[in-house]
Amino acid sequence: MSPVQKTLSILIPVFNEKDTVLELLRRVEAAPIPAAKQIIIVDDGSTDGTRELLKGLGGRAKVVLHERNRGKGAALRTALAEATGEIVIIQDGDLEYDPADYPMMLGPLIDGRADAVYGSRFLGGPHRVLFFWHYFGNLIFTLLTNVLYDINLTDMGTCYKAFVAEKLKAIPLRSERFGIEAEITAKICKRRLRIYEVPISYSGRTYEEGKKITWKDGFSYLFCLLRYRVLD
């Protein structure tokens, strides 16, 4: 199937991102892809003015509002239920991941080589130098994923994940918060989906700049990786 026949749904969970969400939307709209785009933004109970900005978008994106903060996993499930595209891609609401990388992410899906594509921050793309312990923790969880599920990922914790929509929608997802990253990986591995990795750029941010994931979320990663190795 040619690229112009594919449609893309971009799933954007946001929470307290008033300083970045409009610029992020501009970059998504400008992404160099031939596919028709459906942009879905789910505000997960923001309290900093993000919701008010989103209400003024008009028809630029489909906006869904959670009345309270439920977590990234809950916001992704809401967005996925609204998706109509043949391909879906997950996009965080900050500016750490660059929509200019969409063509690299979508290529293996468009030409039928893959069911899922992970954008790896560790395959040679440019990236901002930041926290050693975040990097080390991701290495440990990626290694654990590879051991438990017999694969060879380099970046399990990446936000940038793209899928054939029907494949992802067929998987029951339950995690409410950041554990969704590990749950998705565990379940697509158990279903033997064809996974590709591609290099992406990464502009990580500090906690002062709004980064939200903490060491406590590592326990969610661990719980999901172990739980879904046995259960579904």
The CATH number that applies at residue 40 is 3.90.550.10
Q: Into how many domains does the chain fold?
A: 1
Is the pLDDT score of 61 beyond 50?
Answer: yes
pLDDT bucket at 3, cuts 50 / 70 / 90: very low
pLDDT band at 129 (very low <50, low <70, confident <90, very high): low
Mean model confidence pLDDT for the chain? 89
Q: How many residues does the chain have?
A: 232
CB atoms under 10 Å from CB of 102, counted, come to 25
Measured in whole angstroms, the distance separating CA 211 from the mean position of its chain's CA atoms is 15
Region 118-142: what's the mean pLDDT?
78
pLDDT grade for 123, boundaries at 50, 70 and 90: confident
Question: What is the tens place of the pLDDT at every residue in 8-56?
Answer: 999 999 999 999 999 999 999 999 887 789 999 999 999 999 999 999 9
The 10s digit of each residue's pLDDT in 189-219 is 999 999 999 999 987 655 566 565 666 767 7
Residue 75 CA from chain centroid, whole number? 11
Q: Identify the CA nearest to 190 among candidates 140, 145, 141.
A: 145
Provide mean pLDDT across the span 90-96: 92
pLDDT of residue 221: 79
Q: What is the mean pLDDT of residues 68-83?
A: 96
Chain-centroid distance of CA 214 in Å reads 17
Per-residue pLDDT at 2: 42
Q: What band does 168 get if pLDDT is binned at 50, 70 and 90?
A: very high
Sorting pLDDT into bands at 50, 70 and 90, what band is 4?
very low
pTM over 0.85: yes
Parent domain of 34: 3-230
CA distance to 131, 178, 181, 213, per residue, from 207 (Å): 11, 16, 20, 9
